[in-house]
Amino acid sequence: MGFFFSSSSSSSFVFFFLAFLQLFSIVNGRNLTHSSFTPFNHDLYHSSRFIAKEIKGLVVRHPDRLRMETMRAQNKGYNAEVLVVTYNRARKDVNDSSKFRILLSFGQHGRELITSELALRLLSSLSEEKSIPNVDLSSLNNILEKIVLKVVPMENLNGRKRVEAGDLCERRNGRGVDLNRNWSVDWGKKEKDYDPHEENPGTAPFSEPETQIMRKLSKSFDPHIWVTVHSGMENMSQRVMKFKHVQQISFGSSFYFFM
């Protein structure tokens, strides 16, 4: 004996099944093909692939000051890679420890797209392919000669790829861990506004390959200053566009700007 639906009960079943799927997608908030998601806007943000390609081009064109490497790590089958660009005007001593060392990391949270745009712009300016308004280049170069800069343009590449695939609110890495809660400092601490979905700290401090890579980089480079660049979680026009990352679903169709 099998299941049999009359045409009316069959259409009722289909209706309820679709309604269930719809409800599930709203409750779950993870259905990437749901039409209420605002698509990734390629007119405003570059893809991670484009950013990496642009940076590689800069490094090829300016070997006198730029070098790059890709650092990789894995944990339980989860792989991560982090592009690291070193700026040093005297390439022969790329890791010259006599200079002042600055580490700049961008894009630790997947959805903070604008920070990686900033990294690309910074590297373009340091290559002198883009000018910096109202800055005297010779005095800037005097300063730049005294420093070594390491730039991590996309610290959380896997998380960013999820955003590029349409999950615009994803802040965590490719397996749902908030990299900014995966350090050993205050690991597992639940603050007043703790959100287990957004701030999943992972199974242990430094459980995530991305955090392991950053630890390795910071230990070997030993920077005097480390700046990790973030952007806000709500957009400037939130009241108008009714969009908030933590709500997971966009109601506006033309939301672009992440802060």
Interface with Zn ion by CB under 5 A: which residues? 109, 112, 230
Nearer to Zn ion by C-beta: 86 or 156?
156
Q: To the nearest whole angstrom, how small is the minimum distance from the Cβ of residue 111 to Zn ion?
A: 8
Q: To the nearest whole angstrom, how small is the minimum distance from the Cβ of residue 103 to Zn ion?
A: 16
Q: To the nearest whole angstrom, how small is the minimum distance from the Cβ of residue 171 to Zn ion?
A: 7
Nearer to Zn ion by C-beta: 112 or 164?
112
Q: To the nearest whole angstrom, how small is the minimum distance from the Cβ of residue 9 to Zn ion?
A: 50
Q: To the nearest whole angstrom, how small is the minimum distance from the Cβ of residue 180 to Zn ion?
A: 6
Nearer to Zn ion by C-beta: 89 or 111?
111
Nearer to Zn ion by C-beta: 118 or 140?
118
Ordered DSSP codes for the chain: ------HHHHHHHHHHHHHHHHHHHHHH---TT-TTSPPP-TTTS--HHHHHHHHHHHHHH-TTTEEEEEEEEEETTEEEEEEEEEE-SSGGGTT-TTSEEEEEEE-SSTT-HHHHHHHHHHHHHHTTSS--TT--HHHHHHHHTTEEEEEES-TTHHHHHHHHTT-TT--S-TTS--GGG-SSTTTT---TT--TTTT---SSTT-SHHHHHHHHHHHHH--SEEEEE---SB-TTHHHHT-BGGG-----SS-----
Q: To the nearest whole angstrom, how small is the minimum distance from the Cβ of residue 128 to Zn ion?
A: 30
Instruction: Supply angle C-alpha 169, 209, 226, rounded to 5.
Output: 80
Q: To the nearest whole angstrom, how small is the minimum distance from the Cβ of residue 63 to Zn ion?
A: 32
Alpha carbon separation from 167 to 75, 126, 159, 162, 223 (Å, rounded): 24, 32, 9, 6, 34
Nearer to Zn ion by C-beta: 25 or 105?
105
Nearer to Zn ion by C-beta: 215 or 230?
230
Alpha carbon separation from 133 to 42, 54, 104, 121 (Å, rounded): 26, 22, 21, 13
Question: Which residues does residue 228 pair with via DSSP β-bridges, in sequence order?
Answer: 105
Nearer to Zn ion by C-beta: 150 or 245?
245
